[in-house]
Structure 1
Amino acid sequence: MANDASAVSDTRSPQSLADPFTPAADSSLWRKNFLLGAATASYQIEGAVAEDGRLPSIWDTFSATPGKVLAGDTGAVACDHYHRWQEDVDMLAGLGLEGYRLSIAWPRVMGAAGAPNRKGLDFYKRLLARLKEKGITTFVTLYHWDLPQHLEDRGGWLNRDTAYRFADYADLMSRELAGSVDAWATLNEPWCSAYLGYGNGHHAPGLADGRFATQAMHHLLLAHGLAVPVLRANDPASQKGIVANMGRGTANSDSAADQRAAHLFEVQHNAWILDPLLKGAYPRDLFELWPGTEPLVLDGDLQTIAAPLDFLGVNYYFRTNLASDGAHGFTEVPPEGVERTQMGWEVHPDGLRDLLTGFRKTYANLPPIYITENGMASDDKVTDGHVDDTQRIAFLKRHLAAVDQAIKAGVDVRGYFLWSLMDNFEWAFGYERRFGVVHVDYATQKRTIKRSAELVAKFLRERKLLT
């Protein structure tokens, strides 16, 4: 397929477009009300970790611990977005992106005693005001993993009190920012916070115990449930939801044991979060997989967690192929000869479609969905002032086609956010893995728009002309 979109006029009909990104002419993405944006997270881009009253987070502590993050990288400077936010918003708007999903750094806006930090709050007020001036829809995530360290010192998400402190934080933010946020997401990827943070230690705070993981998850979901009515009361015009990373599990064979293995993988990756949110109960199979890890659940907790949602954010990156471990669990069997990203993750767009259509069948009360993260890492280089990220272009087109297939199958998907707007601190992988559609030179902080972003911008210009 041709790789030069410059020869295609922006005024031609979608049927005639043949560049490597443009969706098919009958794609749902041509709908004017299908939101197309980009996403970031506070610790991954902001830097300025000790400025204007910001307190330490668990990721400051974790990334400063030798051996925890690749190459000893930290988020101390990251993309320096705290100082370059105006430039970054102008870049976002210049690309024509319609939505921006960002997160607020809890340690930047509240002191240890719960008092507001005005300088931190003012940063987000200025940022959101600028986004509104540009006509960009704002999706704000309250918790994208950067728990204040002082709360972790008191037990973090293993301490039930943290859920109530989160509700206080949600109360402050929704009072201060009411009217400037189109959609609030309480949590980003509680599976990662609970399992990677407390179950296997790969992420901050670096604890590793199965019982810790399930208890942390319960308190995370309780925090979500406590925050939703607060957000509704303080900012009634906005949407309220949660963002979860979803994993597609496929069986290595037709055997009953391997089919069961794939099922259990999706239970621990998806139903662990969605069942309490949408059914008011934890899946029983979870504790077959992890016996003896049942969390302490108090009367009324599950009703609180199951607060009605206006939307569900779905983050998707790859599938996992599973076989039975011969006992009561599963083992991964990576397929050979498949396309992979810099992360080593298989490129499997059908998994996104299958998850979305499966959720529609499983949950009668499934809310409208936004794909809040989808993207890939590649070892991008700037050559003669350009970044030709051909693999990402093909990745995005194929995954957007999968979203279109899900919509045509009846799933209410209302938008899609590229992960990520720009290269950034990729958690335990530091700065080696580049997910952005904009390249960042970390030494100079120069931003270079990649070919993928140019083609997304071109599509949005075309759609605007046609709708």
Structure 2
Amino acid sequence: MSLLTRRRLLRRAALSATAATPAAAALGAVTTTALAGCDDTAETRDRTDPAEGPAGGLRFPTGFGWGAATSAYQIEGATKEDGRGESIWDTFSRTPGRTRNGDTGDVAADHYHRYAEDLDLMRDLGLRSYRFSISWPRIQADGTGAPNQRGLDFYRRLADGLHERGISPMATLFHWDLPQALQDIGGWESRDVAHRFADYADAVFRALGDRIPVWLTINEPKTVVQNGYLEGHHAPGRQDPDAAYLVAHHLQLAHGLAVRALRATGGTGRIGPAFNLHPCYPADDTPAAAEAARLYDGYENRLYLDSALKGSYPADVLADLGPGSRMARGIRDGDLELISAPVDLVAVQYYTPIYVTADGGTTRRWPTSEAQWQQIYPDGMYDILTRVTRDYGPVPLTITENGLPTPDVLADDGTVDDAGRVSFLREHLAAVHRAISDGVPLESYHVWSLLDNFEWAEGYDQRWGLIYVDYPTQRRVPKRSAHWYRQVIAANAL
């Protein structure tokens, strides 16, 4: 990796890391408030009133999979119960200065004990699909060996409860909670960890494969790379560009090995990766901006899409990293064949566009949410969905995350009026509908998130859920957006 590339990647990381500062969070709160009221006409107020229900007349395909999503570390709690081992997020969040207010996932939304109540909330919403993650250290405390039966039993009860309520389970194998014992031997920098992941996946497939019809392998490998190894504000808290892209390769390899493991069981479950995809646009009409945006897109999107769906890494990214990079040296014969093993679907997670300047930096074009990195641009959803279908063929797609944090407050009358979230979801679902109408084979949509939860480095300051969680009491309160979403699901229309 050249010194210029190293400096550019670290500069990008430094710019992105401002999202974790209190000042940036405060600015985000202002812009979210502006978003909530930016189209507050009489017509909009009527359309977003839960009592009125969907009014746009946009019907979705029969059987469309309306859902919501969570992840294990963000909601489960019970971090020391029933044989669960330590994860890197236990270590990271308990390290002073790493998370806002020193928050941890030790209790989170206490879903481990309250899952039956949460299942009833899902039923009441009318969900047809629920995307959750399985905690690797709950299944293998140190990331190796025989699976922990108590951990498997929890997910078996969860899956059975979903089926009893007519909700289809969609399980993610890895949502960032790597067993700490594996980090101690190198974490995702170690090729061996990709093989340990395949062993873990095999154990889960064999125990739960008859109950879970859809599997996702690795959640957002790009976020592990960028936030965990470039910016350092996610576990394991590194700032090492050369290590980061070796990690990217091993995460992609782990995906491919898990796909192979599922096929070897002879099970009928479907499987695919979960990528957070950010459409990258030139910030102006200059050739330099177009060129910079193309390379930026390589790091953001094509690095993961091309390797999983075409069996090759983007030549421009490999050239930019250089032949001496740890990633380039870590690719072995047969790796890309494994990584590109045929999948049954691809999960797309969309939050924000990126506007790239001629010098490779970024600029803001649209209002942001409380998450300062998130620009509100619904057309980006349409653009990324149609781009995946155009560039990679008619592989079935599912949206497994889309949402935003809003400054939710529990009112004296026991309600939460998150009008900004309703506006956001309505406009993004309109873009989803347009993509389907234009031929995108999209099967389902999952709001992020079902519940307010532990939002990684931001702790509990940001609320992303359809359902408000009063953390001191663990009381659940459906927000205005939950009532609205329930009516969209019932009508199968926007």
Would the alpha carbon gap of residues 23 and 271 (structure 1) be closer, same or farther in structure 2, given more than 3 Å must change? farther
Q: Does 1 or 2 have the higher relative contact order (CA < 8 Å, sep 6+)?
A: 2
For the 8 Å contact 1:199–1:211, the answer to whether it is kept is no
* Structure 1 residue 320 displacement after superposition: 1.5
* Structure 1 residue 25 displacement after superposition: 1.9
TM-score in terms of structure 2 length: 0.87
Listed as ranges, the matches of 1:242-321 within 5 Å are 242-291=273-322, 292-293=324-325, 294-295=327-328, 296-321=330-355
For the 8 Å contact 1:438–1:447, the answer to whether it is kept is yes
Answer yes or no: is 1:397 the counterpart of 2:399: no
Structure 2 CA distance, aligned partners of 1:88 and 1:306? 36
Listed as ranges, the matches of 1:185-196 within 5 Å are 185-196=216-227
Unaligned runs of 5+ in 1: 9-18
Which residue of structure 1 aligns with residue 113 of structure 2?
83
Answer yes or no: is 1:422 the counterpart of 2:451: yes
Secondary structure at the aligned position of 1:440 is classed as strand
Which residue of structure 2 aligns with residue 409 of structure 1?
438
For the 8 Å contact 1:376–1:435, the answer to whether it is kept is yes
Answer yes or no: is 1:342 the counterpart of 2:385: no
Answer yes or no: is 1:447 the counterpart of 2:476: yes
2:462 maps to a residue whose letter is R
Unaligned runs of 5+ in 2: 1-43
Structure 1 CA distance, aligned partners of 2:358 and 2:336? 31
Structure 1 CA distance, aligned partners of 2:74 and 2:173? 14
Structure 2 CA distance, aligned partners of 1:436 and 1:311? 26
2:57 maps to a residue whose letter is A
* Structure 1 residue 235 displacement after superposition: 5.7
Structure 2 CA distance, aligned partners of 1:82 and 1:53? 13
Which residue of structure 1 aligns with residue 29 of structure 2?
none
Secondary structure at the aligned position of 2:275 is classed as strand
Structure 1 CA distance, aligned partners of 2:266 and 2:164? 20
* Structure 1 residue 7 displacement after superposition: 4.5
For the 8 Å contact 2:86–2:141, the answer to whether it is kept is no
Structure 1 CA distance, aligned partners of 2:122 and 2:296? 37
Secondary structure at the aligned position of 2:74 is classed as helix
Would the alpha carbon gap of residues 352 and 23 (structure 1) be closer, same or farther in structure 2, given more than 3 Å must change? farther
Secondary structure at the aligned position of 1:74 is classed as coil
Which residue of structure 2 aligns with residue 200 of structure 1?
231
Aligned with 2:66 (options 31, 36, 50) = 36
For the 8 Å contact 1:438–1:450, the answer to whether it is kept is yes
1:260 maps to a residue whose letter is E
Listed as ranges, the matches of 1:88-237 within 5 Å are 88-112=118-142, 113-234=144-265, 236-237=267-268
* Structure 1 residue 213 displacement after superposition: 1.0
* Structure 1 residue 230 displacement after superposition: 1.4
Which residue of structure 2 aligns with residue 14 of structure 1?
none
* Structure 1 residue 339 displacement after superposition: 2.6
Structure 1 CA distance, aligned partners of 2:67 and 2:157? 20
1:397 maps to a residue whose letter is R
The superposition leaves residues 373-405 of structure 1 with CA deviations (integer Å, 9 ceiling, x where unpaired) of 000011100112111111100100111111111
* Structure 1 residue 463 displacement after superposition: 3.6
Question: Where in structure 1 do 4 or more consecutive aligned residues deviate above 6 Å?
Answer: none
Moved more, 231-240 or 101-110: 231-240
* Structure 1 residue 157 displacement after superposition: 0.4
Answer yes or no: is 1:68 the counterpart of 2:111: no
Secondary structure at the aligned position of 2:476 is classed as strand
Which residue of structure 2 aligns with residue 323 of structure 1?
357
Would the alpha carbon gap of residues 6 and 57 (structure 1) be closer, same or farther in structure 2, given more than 3 Å must change? closer
1:428 maps to a residue whose letter is A
Structure 1 CA distance, aligned partners of 2:345 and 2:266? 16
Equivalent residues, number:
444
Structure 2 CA distance, aligned partners of 1:108 and 1:235? 25
Structure 2 CA distance, aligned partners of 1:416 and 1:188? 16
For the 8 Å contact 1:232–1:240, the answer to whether it is kept is no
TM-score in terms of structure 1 length: 0.92
Secondary structure at the aligned position of 1:401 is classed as helix
* Structure 1 residue 408 displacement after superposition: 1.5
For the 8 Å contact 1:372–1:418, the answer to whether it is kept is yes
Structure 1 CA distance, aligned partners of 2:309 and 2:488? 35
For the 8 Å contact 2:286–2:358, the answer to whether it is kept is no
* Structure 1 residue 232 displacement after superposition: 2.4
